[in-house]
C-alpha cells in the first residue's frame, strides 16, 4: 500500500496532453478506459472540502497501514498536505469511485526531478474498506498515464518494504521491475526500515500499453 513517501503534489503542465494532472487542476477528473471495459475509479487533486472524509478514512485505516505508511489523520497534517500540493515537485491524486465519488485512497508523485533525470517517486495507500477490490489496480494505470504522458517523466520509482506483499504485487502487476534493495532506507513509525526499489521507464510502459498487457492482481 506504500511506494515512496508522503505527502503529495506537483505543478507540471503540458497543454498538448489534456488528460492527467493539468486537466484535473482545471476541475475535470482524470478518467480513462482500463482495458477491461469498465471504469470504476477516477483521479482528482485533493481540495479543502475533502478534509473530513479523507481524515476519517485515514484514521480508520491507521492499523491497516502500519508499518507500511503514514497519512494525514488530523487537521494540521491535512493542512500541510494541501500546502505540499502547491509545490512544483509534487503531484497529489486522490482515487475516487465513479459510482458515488467516495475517496478510496491516494497516489502521489514526489521529488519530481527535471533536467537530465525526468523522474519521480511513487507513493500510495488505499483505505482499509476498499482494499483488495481492484480499485488501486485501475488507479495506478491512470497514474502512470499522468506520469508519462502529462508530466513527460522518464522514470518512476516506488520504494516498498519487502514484507509489504500487496504493495509489491500492485507495482509488479503494473510493470515495475525490482532494481535493488536499500537497507534502513526510510524512517516510518519511528524506525528505519529496509525497502526494495521498484521502477518503470516510459518506454517500458509504452510497450506494455501497446501490447495490451492487462494489469495483474486484485489490489
pLDDT, tens digit, for every residue of 118-134? Answer: 999 999 999 999 999 99
State the cell numbers at 124: 500510495
State the cell numbers at 127: 483505505
- 90 Cα distance to chain centroid: 11
Average pLDDT over the chain reads 85
CA distance 196 to 199: 10
Q: What is the pLDDT of residue 12?
A: 33
Q: What is the pLDDT of residue 38?
A: 64
State the cell numbers at 154: 522518464
Note the CATH architecture for domain 2-210.
Answer: 3-Layer(aba) Sandwich (3.40)
Q: What is the pLDDT of residue 75?
A: 96
pTM: 0.82
Q: What is the pLDDT of residue 214?
A: 55
Q: What is the pLDDT of residue 78?
A: 97
Residue 195 above 90 pLDDT? Answer: yes
Strand ranges of the sheet holding 103-113, from the earlier edge strand across to the other edge: 41-44, 91-97, 103-113, 119-126, 155-160, 191-201, 177-188
CA distance 168 to 176: 9
Helices (H), 16-93: 21-25, 51-60, 62-65, 75-84
Nearest residue to 127 via CA among 32, 208, 59, 36: 59
Residue 32 above 70 pLDDT? Answer: no
Please name the residues in contact with 114: beta carbons below 8 A apart, sequence gap of 6 or more: none
More confident site: 35 or 161: 161
Percent of the chain with pLDDT over 70: 79
b/e 45-74 (16+ beta carbons within 10 angstroms → b): bbeeebbeebbebbeebeebbeebbbbbbe
pLDDT, tens digit, for every residue of 142-166? Answer: 999 999 999 999 999 999 999 999 9
Domain ranges in the chain are 2-210
Average pLDDT of the residues in 89-112: 97
Amino acid at each position: 500500500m506504500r511506494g515512496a513517501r508522503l505527502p503529495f503534489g506537483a505543478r507540471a503542465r503540458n497543454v498538448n496532453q489534456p488528460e492527467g494532472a493539468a486537466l484535473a487542476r482545471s476541475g475535470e477528473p482524470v478518467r480513462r478506459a482500463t482495458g477491461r471495459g469498465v471504469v470504476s475509479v477516477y483521479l482528482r487533486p485533493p481540495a479543502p472540502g475533502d478534509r473530513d472524509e479523507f481524515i476519517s478514512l485515514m484514521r480508520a485505516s491507521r492499523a491497516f497501514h502500519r508499518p507500511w505508511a503514514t497519512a494525514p489523520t488530523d487537521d494540521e497534517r491535512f493542512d500541510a498536505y494541501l500546502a505540499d500540493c502547491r509545490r512544483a515537485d509534487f503531484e497529489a491524486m486522490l482515487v475516487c469511485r465513479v459510482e458515488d465519488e467516495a475517496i478510496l485512497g491516494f497516489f502521489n508523485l514526489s521529488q519530481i526531478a527535471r533536467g537530465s533525470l525526468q523522474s519521480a517517486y511513487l507513493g500510495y495507500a488505499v483505505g482499509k474498506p476498499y482494499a483488495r477490490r481492484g480499485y488501486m489496480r485501475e488507479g495506478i494505470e491512470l497514474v502512470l498515464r499522468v506520469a508519462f504522458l502529462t508530466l513527460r517523466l522518464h522514470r518512476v520509482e516506488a520504494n516498498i518494504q519487502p514484507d509489504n506483499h500487496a504493495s509489491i504485487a500492485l507495482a509488479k502487476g503494473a510493470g515495475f521491475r525490482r532494481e535493488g534493495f536499500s537497507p534502513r532506507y526510510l524512517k516510518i513509525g519511528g524506525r528505519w526500515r529496509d525497502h526494495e526499489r521498484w521502477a518503470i521507464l516510459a518506454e517500458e510502459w509504452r510497450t506494455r500499453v501497446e501490447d495490451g498487457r492487462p494489469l495483474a492482481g486484485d489490489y
